[in-house]
Structure 1
Amino acid sequence: MASNTPRYRVIEQYLLERISAGDFPVNHQIPAEEQLARDFGVSRMTANKAIRDLVQKGYLIRQAGLGTFVTDRKAESSLHEVLNIAAEVRGRGNEYSNLILRCEAIEADDEVALRLGVRVGTPTFHSILVHRENGLPIQLEDRYVNPRWVPDYLQTDFARHTPNEVLVAACPISDVEHVVEAVLVDRQTAEWLAMDSATPCLSMIRRTWSEDHLVSYARLIHPGDRYKLRSALGPRDFASASLRRGS
């Protein structure tokens, strides 16, 4: 590594190399900040920054009073945000790609009409994509879109722009609803996700609004051994929840 590389980066690289080599496996406790500072001849603040950056990137997790440990770095998404999966994957330093399975205009059946807030038989746009990280499927996205709000949806080149990017550009998201459950999938879905059909999956039903318009309904399927969902509440979230409860 170049001599002008910041010292905290040197520590990060050391830790990543040990993790990659299996010297620091999942749940392994890494050296304490004080030890890293001594080993690399830096301040504790510099060692802290290296650890903090790797925590933010999902390689490490801090446990109060115990130390810092290597995480099971599955792909993950936040339940409180609607993020572009391509950006998530690339943000982890990995390669994003997708497989487009369907892209069509169909009439809404009973379930789609209920979920999308339209009448049965209403024309809707339908797409199915498999999102991949380093070539490995991590999400099956089965999405329905109200053409009234995103009329050019089917003309999108989904190899270049994800459905999320298209929806956000056309109708900035103001509200989102998530319903998550553990499921087993059928043989076709398992084949699309390159997994055993006996492997449990995470299913997320997501509906998105732009102001008063219900724009999209999607079912997102994630192989349970490759993906995790994250939820974090800060002080403002708790304060907001308390106000809503009137406490």
Structure 2
Amino acid sequence: MKRSNAPKAPLKWDASDNDGSPLYAGVKQMILDRIQSGEWPPKHRVPSENELVAELGVSKMTANRALRELASEGELVRIQGVGSFVAERKGYSELFEVRNIAEEIDERGHTHQASVVVLAQETAAPDVADALGLPIGAPVFHSLIVHSENGVPVQIEDRFVNPEAAPGYLEQDFTAQTPNAYLTAEAPLSGSEHIVEAAMPQPWECKLLVILRTEPCLLIRRRTWSSKRAVSFARLVYPGNRYRLESRNGKMSDE
């Protein structure tokens, strides 16, 4: 993802204008003002903690809290060893609709990339066997894929597939098409189940998503069926500050 350089114009902020609020809140607002005015557009690198300390005369703790809270609120994306950047508008998924993440990203005018970490046949562990209605130890297909939007990881897709439902699964190039697209064509969807929860990332997930251990994630456990046969069981992990889910039901009117 191409990112712009740090601003050359000096930062202007007067702590006396902070109306008694904590200093970190004033620093946050100064950064937000520049983002909301368009002065700092998406992907723009914001000043580092050390730069904020030097230019604003605040403590490193104050600068850290301001940047950390803006990241947790989805205004910034912090990448270890690289810096903090103005976030693009969060991607989103329809909560009760099984959609192709590549299509969602394309609809936003962005670029989807997929990195295949695992694609292999394994034996079903008890939880996978239960989810797919198979005996423990039965053969299953396993894929682990990281989906990125404009070069930024937005989803880990950890999926187990019933070989009887999609026998050619391991032969597919999932950098060219998503498992969702392949399975929808191979075993048309007749039903789905979603369980949504907040979760702290595991160390290996932090590495794949390029996030800190302290950054919460959105976890979706999804099962799909075709003609009453379980097709796949997927564990989808999203960085909480890079994604959101939406659900709308029934008639709606702006009147």
Sort the TM-score into its range (normalised by shorter chain): 0.5 to 0.7
User: Which residue pairs with 1:105 in the alignment?
Assistant: 121
User: Which residue pairs with 2:189 in the alignment?
Assistant: 173
Say if 1:198 and 1:176 are closer, same or farther in 2 by CA, change over 3 A. Answer: same
User: Which residue pairs with 1:199 in the alignment?
Assistant: 215
What is the DSSP-based 3-state SS (H/G/I as helix, E as strand, rest coil) of the residue aligned with 1:232? coil
Q: Which amino acid aligns with 2:150?
A: N
The residue correspondences of 1:125-140 to structure 2 (distance < 5 A) are 125-140=141-156
Residue deviations 1:173-192, cap 9 Å, x none? 11110000000011111000
The residue correspondences of 1:13-92 to structure 2 (distance < 5 A) are 22=38, 73-92=89-108
What is the aligned counterpart of 1:225 among 241, 244, 248? 241
Question: How far 1:197 sits from its partner (Å)?
Answer: 1.4
Within 2, Cα distance between the matches of 1:230 and 1:174?
A: 22
Say if 1:24 and 1:80 are closer, same or farther in 2 by CA, change over 3 A. Answer: farther
| Pair 1:151 & 2:171 matched | no
Cα RMSD over matched residues?
2.4
User: Which residue pairs with 1:216 in the alignment?
Assistant: 232
User: Which residue pairs with 2:130 in the alignment?
Assistant: 114
Within 1, Cα distance between the matches of 2:173 and 2:37?
A: 39
Within 2, Cα distance between the matches of 1:174 and 1:132?
A: 28
User: Which residue pairs with 1:44 in the alignment?
Assistant: none
Within 2, Cα distance between the matches of 1:227 and 1:91?
A: 15
User: Which residue pairs with 1:61 in the alignment?
Assistant: none
Within 2, Cα distance between the matches of 1:73 and 1:129?
A: 23
What is the DSSP-based 3-state SS (H/G/I as helix, E as strand, rest coil) of the residue aligned with 1:113? helix
Q: Which amino acid aligns with 1:195?
A: I
Within 2, Cα distance between the matches of 1:21 and 1:129?
A: 37
Within 1, Cα distance between the matches of 2:126 and 2:99?
A: 28
Q: Which runs of 5+ in 1 are unaligned?
A: 1-18, 26-71, 237-247
Say if 1:23 and 1:229 are closer, same or farther in 2 by CA, change over 3 A. Answer: same
Q: Scaled by the length of structure 1, what TM-score is found?
A: 0.67
User: Which residue pairs with 1:161 in the alignment?
Assistant: 177
What count of residue pairs does the alignment treat as equivalent? Answer: 175
Q: Scaled by the length of structure 2, what TM-score is found?
A: 0.65
Question: How far 1:73 sits from its partner (Å)?
Answer: 2.4
Runs of 4 or more consecutive aligned structure 1 residues displaced over 6 Å after TM superposition: none
Q: Which runs of 5+ in 2 are unaligned?
A: 1-34, 42-87
| Pair 1:185 & 2:179 matched | no
Percent of residue pairs bearing the same amino acid type: 44
User: Which residue pairs with 1:3 in the alignment?
Assistant: none
Residue deviations 1:218-239, cap 9 Å, x none? 0000000000011111149xxx
Q: Which amino acid aligns with 1:167?
A: L
Say if 1:94 and 1:111 are closer, same or farther in 2 by CA, change over 3 A. Answer: same
Within 1, Cα distance between the matches of 2:213 and 2:155?
A: 15
Question: How far 1:21 sits from its partner (Å)?
Answer: 6.3
Within 2, Cα distance between the matches of 1:150 and 1:128?
A: 16
Q: Which amino acid aligns with 2:120?
A: E
Within 1, Cα distance between the matches of 2:206 and 2:153?
A: 10
Within 1, Cα distance between the matches of 2:103 and 2:214?
A: 30
Q: Which amino acid aligns with 1:121?
A: G
Within 1, Cα distance between the matches of 2:36 and 2:103?
A: 23
Residue deviations 1:58-96, cap 9 Å, x none? xxxxxxxxxxxxxx8211001121111001101100011
Residue deviations 1:119-140, cap 9 Å, x none? 1011000000000000000000
